[in-house]
Amino acid sequence: MRPSRLGILGLGAIGGSVARQAKLAGVATVVGWSPEPSERVAAVKQGALDDAPAKAADVARVADLLVLAAPPAANLAQLEALAPHLPAAALVTDVGSVKRAIVALAERLGLGARFAGSHPLAGSHRRGFEASRGDLFRGAVVYVTPCTGGGGDGAAREISHFWETVLGAHAVTLDAARHDAQVAATSHVPQVVASLLAYFLARHTPPGASLGPGALDTTRLAASDSALWTEILLMNRDEVLPALRALEEPLGAVERALEAGDGPALAAWLTRAAEWRRRVDL
């Protein structure tokens, strides 16, 4: 779909970028809300929004596509609270990185034919509207997770079309359960590992020591919003826990190789990792 009235709840890096790109793409009316009045004012002044009402419900009432761009728990609360205010034909999506809970809620609310979740693989650890960009989603992959049952596929197609034609992203349809299992390995565990390494360095780096590019590159994710990631990890903990436990075996293999001075075993382990990483860059 190409909405004539786009509503966005949450004007941080993701929601603000949706607003900016939608206006650049020619969407007639973009209305948004943030709990931070300064973000609402900035978004209007910078031309990302046509209007920024003081209440989220006032955005929901006028949107033919509503994008929930708050943290995951807030998106759940907003969907439940605002469902009665939606126009009869309005579609709804969210941009959180955990999908099962919000897809299930949409189904319980009777929105299965009008809701599909979204997860754009874009953004950074920076926060707020000032971190938003007018090209953030161009070329990015966006997972779209349909509701099950009648009509769910239709809403997913419309929302995928919005991401592709308005925001220039590449939409990939994925079942919510499969999505959460996949991102546990590809996104959530890397966040934990980066934060674990940062925690280790904070405790063991000598005062005044400089960090090389290896330490800086591998801990970049650790600068992400801790409150947001607490929500994400708890919401997807049943998938994250077994993924984390799967790290124990290879870590043990490295420890055993070092204890035994086993150069060939250590080299083989490092080689497998290096070969995988080089393939990713191709």
- Dump the DSSP string for 17-69: HHHHHHHHTT-SEEEEE-SSHHHHHHHHHTTS-SB--SSHHHHHTT-SEEEE-
**Homologous superfamily assigned to 5-174:** NAD(P)-binding Rossmann-like Domain (3.40.50.720)
Domain ranges (residues) in the chain: 5-174, 175-244, 247-282
| φ and ψ at residue 224, rounded to 5 degrees | -70, 165
Give, in degrees to the nearest 5, the angle at Cα 81 between 80 and 83.
65
**CA–CA separation, 58 vs 31, rounded Å?**
9
Q: How confident is the model at residue 133 (pLDDT cuts 50, 70, 90)?
A: very high
- Would you tell me which CATH number, out of the four given (3.90.850.10, 1.10.3660.10, 3.10.105.10, 1.10.3720.10), belongs to the domain 175-244? 1.10.3660.10
Percent of the chain's residues with pLDDT above 90: 94
Burial (CB count within 10 angstroms: exposed 0-12, middle 13-18, buried 19+), residue 273: exposed
Question: Across residues 92-115, what is the average pLDDT?
Answer: 96
Q: What are the residues whose beta carbons fall under 8 Å from the beta carbon of 174, sequence distance 6 or more? A: 143, 144, 145, 182
Alpha helix positions (H), 47-168? 56-60, 72-82, 100-108, 152-165
Instruction: Note the pLDDT tens digit of each residue in 1-57.
Output: 899 999 999 999 999 999 999 999 999 999 999 999 999 999 999 999 999 999 999
Largest CA distance in the chain: 68
Cβ atoms 101, 235 nearer than 8 A: yes
Q: Cα torsion for 71, 49, 89, 164, to the nearest 10°? A: -80
Closest by CA position to 129, among listed 41, 28, 6, 227: 41
Burial (CB count within 10 angstroms: exposed 0-12, middle 13-18, buried 19+), residue 255: exposed
Residue 51 corresponds to which tokens in the numbers above? 């209007």
Instruction: Note the pLDDT tens digit of each residue in 236-248.
Output: 999 999 999 999 9
Reported pTM: 0.92
Instruction: Note the pLDDT tens digit of each residue in 51-70.
Output: 999 999 999 999 999 999 99
Q: What are the residues whose beta carbons fall under 8 Å from the beta carbon of 234, sequence distance 6 or more? A: none
Q: How confident is the model at residue 73 (pLDDT cuts 50, 70, 90)?
A: very high
